[in-house]
Structure 1
Amino acid sequence: MPSYAFVDGQYMPRHLAQLPLEDRATNFGDGIYEVWVVAQGKLVDEQKHFARLERSLGELQIPMPMGRPALAQHIQRLIRRNNIRFGTVYLQISRGASKRDHVPAADIVPSLTIFTNNKPALADARLSPKPLKIITGPDLRWARRDIKSTSLLPNVMLRMEAHQQGCHEAWMVDDQGFVTEGTSSSSWIVTPEKVVVTRALTNDILPGVTRDTVRELMSQSNHKFEERAFSVEEAEQAAEAFITSATNFVGPVVEINGVTIGHGQIGEVTTILRDLYLRAAGL
């Protein structure tokens, strides 16, 4: 049974889907994207992802190709058509296609692409999570990191470096030596005093949806919470560290730059927050 995609108003077998040669997401990285996790056939943090999608489009002055209810309907149709119980939905909106020029044509129309990926392993999220090893590297991205743009080259290069070193993720570091975020995740530490710390929201980082949900759940964990910058050195000396993202949920970090974090095992606070998030997500 073929997997289907939705491209500019049409459902088609995924292997036949294609974008125009001069689509601006391809030529300029001029577009945005969102990724939802599907659990039990339902979108996790659905409305928060839609809100971030709309915000990113607004910041780039790209109009929504259709309203939120219509987008949600097409996503649900793809989930059903592709029989996705546990998986992901990728949605991309580019400014559209026109003759390649830095200034787009005045009559350009946004392009919409949606496809799904089946990930049955997500059903086992309650099993012991994989301990993660990470590296750090310079944050070479542009100044508007709060926009979920398709321009991901610095993220890709640093993630490739992490992979080459046998690590799962990389944390990006600003010019002052403070961690901004991961290449595809938000960065967190737990201090020796059991204070949970993550960087405050500014244009320096993406407003992570999972980050926001975990922040809301902090009130149930009985731990002190701070939004502030932390250095690589502080992270390496932390009692615990973890990442948050749509597909990793709350992922325990046990090693940073070869330095063992805490006792090198999944920490108590990380375990509590992961459990709270999975329950909230219906997993």
Structure 2
Amino acid sequence: MTRIAYVNGRYVRHADAKVHIEDRGYQFADGVYEVCEVRHGMIVDMTRHLDRLGRSLSELRIAWPMHRAALVRVIREVLKRNRVKNGLFYMQVTRGVAKRDHVFPHPDTKPSIVVTAKSTNPAIIAAKNANGIKAITVPENRWDRVDIKTVGLLSNALVRQQAKEAGAQEAIYVDADGTVKEGAATNVWMVDEDGTLLTRPAEHGILRGITRTTLMDVAGNLGIKIREEAFSTEKMLASREVFITAATSICFPVVEIDGKPIANGHPGSVSQKIREAFFDIAEKTSIW
């Protein structure tokens, strides 16, 4: 089946999709993005993803490329044209096409928008949940505004490659003082000796993940205690359980970090309970 993308007002073959060479996303990484899961024909947490898109655009002073309701129609149409029942959609908005200059272009410059979608294999995610994944820690070296979901992901790509070469699936950023921040594409959680769930506060230094936010609702519904509290690498390595969250994976248990097993080296019960209850709480919007 031919994949279809939406690019600046047109539905085109994915293989033919193009943006101008002077699009500011290409020249300066001057843009933002969102990735959202589709499960059994339902878009997961779309309202929160669009709310965060709006915040990211506002922080970079980029206008919405279209009315929000129109964007929802485009997303649904891209999913339907690609026949995605289980998978994801990706949307990216940049400041638009203008001659290369560091300062913003004329206010009339129209933002560029791309929406793509693809199916994923649920069996691969199920295997990672059953077996757990490995991670490494890396020094934080990104710009300070990681709370904005920008397309400037060079550091993230480099440390993900470093993780792959180390036989791991995620890299976890750590501050100079040893405090855990977040994964290259995930939020990081640990379960302490009392069974309390800890995650770093999202006011500064990490992205406020949508799955992270919904997971808090899920944990509350399950009666699991949560504290938004910074924790050290040493505390994480000594914890009862570590897991990471993201829109396309929900909740992956981490069984080894820097070659050291977490607890008994097997997925823990807290992440399993949260994963099993997640879609009972998350918002679900039909693609139809």
**TM norm structure 2:** 0.94
Residue type at the aligned position of 2:41: G
Is 1:82–2:82 an aligned residue pair? yes
Q: RCO greater where, 1 or 2, for CA within 8 Å and sep 6 or more?
A: 2
Q: For structure 1, which segment, 204-213 or 105-114, has the greater mean C-alpha deviation from structure 2 after superposition?
A: 105-114
For residues 34 and 194 of structure 1, the distance between their equivalents in structure 2, rounded to whole angstroms, comes to 32
- Change in Cα spacing, 1:9 to 1:122, as seen in structure 2 (3 Å) is farther
For residues 210 and 127 of structure 2, the distance between their equivalents in structure 1, rounded to whole angstroms, comes to 20
For residues 156 and 115 of structure 2, the distance between their equivalents in structure 1, rounded to whole angstroms, comes to 22
Residue ranges of structure 2 left out of the alignment (5+ in a row): none
Partner residue in 2 for 1:25 = 25
Q: Which runs of 4+ in 1 moved over 6 A?
A: none
The answer on whether the counterparts of 1:86 and 1:122 sit within 8 Å (CA) in structure 2 is no
The answer on whether the counterparts of 2:129 and 2:252 sit within 8 Å (CA) in structure 1 is no
Percent of aligned positions that are identical: 38
Partner residue in 2 for 1:16 = 16
Is 1:94–2:94 an aligned residue pair? yes
Residue type at the aligned position of 1:38: V
Q: For structure 1, which segment, 220-229 or 62-71, has the greater mean C-alpha deviation from structure 2 after superposition?
A: 220-229
Residue type at the aligned position of 1:59: E
The answer on whether the counterparts of 2:135 and 2:163 sit within 8 Å (CA) in structure 1 is yes
Partner residue in 2 for 1:200 = 201
The answer on whether the counterparts of 2:131 and 2:266 sit within 8 Å (CA) in structure 1 is no
Partner residue in 2 for 1:251 = 252
Q: Post-superposition shift, 1:68?
A: 1.2
The answer on whether the counterparts of 1:139 and 1:154 sit within 8 Å (CA) in structure 2 is no
Partner residue in 2 for 1:187 = 188
Partner residue in 1 for 2:152 = 151
Residue type at the aligned position of 1:24: R
**TM norm structure 1:** 0.96
For residues 7 and 245 of structure 1, the distance between their equivalents in structure 2, rounded to whole angstroms, comes to 25
Partner residue in 2 for 1:268 = 269
SS of residue paired to 1:211: helix
For residues 129 and 23 of structure 1, the distance between their equivalents in structure 2, rounded to whole angstroms, comes to 42
For residues 71 and 181 of structure 2, the distance between their equivalents in structure 1, rounded to whole angstroms, comes to 31
SS of residue paired to 1:129: helix
Partner residue in 2 for 1:167 = 168
CA deviation vs aligned residue, 1:50-109 (integer Å, no higher than 9, x gap): 000000000000000111110010010111111110111000000001111101321321
Q: Post-superposition shift, 1:40?
A: 1.5
For residues 244 and 177 of structure 2, the distance between their equivalents in structure 1, rounded to whole angstroms, comes to 21
1:41-120 equivalence runs, <5 A: 41-106=41-106, 107-120=108-121
Is 1:214–2:215 an aligned residue pair? yes
